[in-house]
Amino acid sequence: MSPDRLRGDTMTSLSTFCKRFPLDLNSSSNPSDDVFASTRFVLVEPSHPGNVGAAARALKTMGFSRLIVVAPKIAFVTREPEAVAMASGADDVLASAQVVETLADALNGVHWSIALTARSREYGPPQMAPRAAAEKACEFTGQGQGGSPGAIALVFGNERVGLSNEDVERCSALAHIPANPAYSSLNLAQAVALLGRADATPVTTAPASPPSASSDEIEGMYTHLEQALVALDFLDPANPKKLMSRLRRLFSRSGLEHEEVNILRGIAKHILLKIKR
Ligand code: SAH
């Protein structure tokens, strides 16, 4: 992307941004209310307390409140003085942040997750433009089981190494914020702010559709399918190649529904039962 093109894009998003502010966070008529309430910002293995604090500040500024930190390099990172200082007035978001051990824990109950990556990946879920991924995410709010809002997660990687391929594969989509190709890596909190803005932008309400499967349901299905494929001798555990990665990619393109996951698990169960006979 040329520097001119980059400048043009920045101006466009800036004017969109200005037209939409101030956000009326108290108004129940704001179509993005569900999005604010049900979006989790997930930081995977952050190293620097200052970045965790700055990310809390960035997401609160954009109207969000839920921060989850996965396996931080410093155990009680949210209480570190540098984190508290960088959070500034977002100390409430920092204090209520959850610290969990794995990305799977952070995605429990999530229906749509976006992995943010500074570089492209060979494998992984389909890549979408940040705005398109955010719009898609909005379709999932209000889709949870039993009327609870469907949760959305924006997943950010470690400052030095980014997200692992395994973490990226756990997500429903992959997004890259267009940047200078020669230097495309944003600071963690800057990436949080930009995505928060894309996600907060109101979009038209999507028609109701059947409940989507949550991340933990989908992970359970992959485990079950893998067992069935091994039992069928279709997948060699000693030489798995990229079969499961390719299947993950295939299914993540389809936007699996709760019932569809049940069907696939039913198929896996019957394969295993038949082979055991
Ligand atoms: N050196 C790392 C970059 C880490 S920056 C790498 O090559 O992956 C920390 C995190 O900020 C990234 O893992 C990603 O979640 C987010 N981030 C930084 N720049 C980004 C960009 N241009 N688009 C999307 N996410 C970005």
Q: How far is CA 203 from the centre of its chain?
A: 18
252 lines ligand 1 (CB under 6 A): no
- What's the gap in Å between 191 CA and the centre of ligand 1? 7
Contact 199, 140 (CB under 8 A): no
Instruction: Give the span between the Cα atoms of 153 and 150, in whole angstroms.
Output: 10
pLDDT band with cut points at 50, 70 and 90 for residue 162: very high
pLDDT tens for residues 255-267? 899 999 999 999 9
CA of 153 to the centre of ligand 1 (A): 16
**pLDDT tens digits along 30-45:** 444 567 778 899 999 9
Enter the DSSP assignment of 204: P
Gap from CA of 188 to ligand 1 centroid (Å)? 7
Q: What is the pLDDT of residue 106?
A: 96
129 closest CA partner among 204, 72, 194? 194
Q: Rounding to the nearest 10 degrees, give the CA dihedral for residues 263, 244, 40, 162.
A: 180
47 touches 22 (CB < 8 A): no
User: Would you place residue 5 in the very low, low, confident or very high pLDDT band (cuts 50, 70, 90)?
Assistant: very low
Residue 261 is predicted with a pLDDT of: 95
193 lines ligand 1 (CB under 6 A): no
Is 162 a pocket residue for ligand 1 (Cβ < 6 Å)?
yes
Query: Separation of 117 CA from ligand 1 center, angstroms?
Result: 5
Copy the structure tokens of residue 158.
């470690």
Percent helix / strand / coil, the chain, rounded to 5:
50, 15, 40
The string of pLDDT tens digits covering residues 69-107 is 999 999 999 999 999 999 999 999 999 999 999 999 999
* Beta carbon of 41 within 6 Å of any ligand 1 atom: no
Ligand 1 neighbour 13 (Cβ under 6 A): no
- Cα→Cα distances 215→36, 152, 183, 252, Å: 19, 10, 32, 11
Kindly give the number of the ligand 1 atom that is closest to the alpha carbon of 115. Answer: 15
For the entire predicted model, the pTM comes to: 0.75
- Nearest protein CA to atom 5 of ligand 1, as residue: 159
Lay out the sheet containing 66-70: strands in order across.
98-100, 66-70, 39-44, 151-156, 110-116, 173-175, 127-128
Amino acid found at 16: T
